[in-house]
Amino acid sequence: MLAGGGKLAGILAEVEPAAPGPGVAVVLGIGVNLRVDAFPEGVAGASLHRLLAPAPPPSAEELLVVLLPALASRVRSLEGGGISALLPDWRARAVGLGGRVVAETPGGRVEGRALDIDSGGALLVETNAGTVRLLAGDAHFL
């Protein structure tokens, strides 16, 4: 999530296809910069304590009280309608679509233009060799 000219929050999703039982397991990590006084050189970061000043930022616990019910609602949508139930909101909030992207994937480095998110949740990247469907990797939008 971008705010105040920098990255305020991010989500990391790890898929575990070998989970017991049917289907797969997804582990979500959510990070929010509540109080970061300085970011490394070249990093465009934002911190909630600066964005809300002079008011204090919420504590991690206060943030979770708001975040977890919203996350539970999205999980229910996903369980009821699959990824297609989330796609309109996902696309509307997807930073970087239409722009340049570099991704380190299990199959190697992919560079190109981020086109869209497909019905399976993959990032579609237009490269010199054609469109590549990315399901896993570390993507950086330029």
Q: What is the pLDDT of residues 111-129, one digit of tens each?
A: 999 999 998 888 999 999 9
CA–CA gap between residue 19 and residue 21 (Å, rounded): 6
Query: pLDDT by residue (tens digit) across 41-63?
Result: 888 899 999 999 999 999 999 99
What domains does the chain contain, in order, with CATH numbers?
2-81 (no CATH), 92-141 (2.30.30.100)
| 49 to 5, 9, 74, 115: CA distances (angstroms) | 14, 13, 27, 34
CA–CA gap between residue 141 and residue 111 (Å, rounded): 10
Q: Determine whether 96 is exposed, middle or buried from the number of CB atoms within 10 Å of its CB (0-12, 13-18, 19+).
A: middle
Residue percentage of the chain with pLDDT more than 90: 48
